[in-house]
Each structure stands twice: as structure tokens, then as C-alpha cells.
Amino acid sequence: MTVPGEEQRVAGGFIRSYVITGGRELPSADDLSLITLVTVAPEQELPALPSPETVAIWELCSGGYLSVAEVSARLGLPVGVVRLLLTDLIREGRLLRRATPPPAQAPDPRLLEKVLHGLQRRFA
């Protein structure tokens, strides 16, 4: 590629991702969006023989809610890998997720009003 741009910030993570996920297919954005919030469920423990990445996710998510995008960025792991590991932990009941609004065609005016008022308060 001759075009300088965002796509040059590549971390060459393909083999790394493949090893971490055991070659499984990565879940799609429909399953766990970038802004879905996750945290460790109360009175839950790490699965037996966790991978280092699962341990890292567990430790990070023990402190409170973070979005899937934040977990990925804070740990320096690709989003697809984080999605897969989070999906496992959620399925096992070890992590809680907070639902994000459904991907409606037209955003709800009441929600937009809340966003507007929130921004006005914040930057007043």
C-alpha cells in the first residue's frame, strides 16, 4: 500500500489472535457491540486454567463497567478476540452485560433529548 493513513497502524495480530482464540471464528458485532458495557458478576471466579488474556480481562473488568471497545483498547487486544473471550465469560455467567439500545433505524427522540440535555449541562 502506498497510501499513508490509519490502516498503516497495523499490529500484525493475525497469528496472535488465532492462538488466543484457538482458531475459533470470531463473534460478529451483532453479538456484542463495541459499546456494550460489561463487568464481573458478583461472587464469580475465574474459569479453571484461564489464558493470560482471560486473566487480564477478568482483572480489568473486576473494577466496574467498561465498554467492549474500552476492554479491547486498555488491554491492547483486537476487538474480535476480546468479543470472543467476553462472550465465553458471559455465557458461563461470570460476566454481566448491560444492554445497549437496539440498532433502530431512527433514534428515539427521547433518547436524543437526553443526550442533548446531558451535553448542554456538561459544556454549559
Partner 1 sequence: MDFNAGSPEDIYVPGAVTTAVKILVVGHFAVGKTTLIGALSEIAPLSTEEKMTQASTRVDDLRGVPDKKTTTVALDFGRLTLGDDLVLYLFGTPGQQRFMQLWEDMARGALGALLLADPTRLSDTFPVIDLIEQYGLEYAVAVNSFDRQSDYTEDELREALDLLPHTPVVFCDARDQRSSADALLTLVRHLLERAS
Position 19 contacts partner 1 (CB under 8 A): no
**Bridge partner residues of 38 (DSSP):** 66, 97
Q: How far apart are CA 55 and CA 47, in angstroms?
A: 9
Per-residue cell: 83 = 468479543
Nearer to partner 1, 13 or 47 (CB): 13
- Which range binds partner 1 by CB under 8 A, 40-48, 50-58, 59-67, 85-93? 59-67
Which one, of 41, 59, 34, 27, lies nearest residue 95 by Cα?
Answer: 41
Residue of 20, 53, 72, 84 that binds partner 1 (CB under 8 A): 72
Least distance to partner 1, CB of residue 122, Å: 6
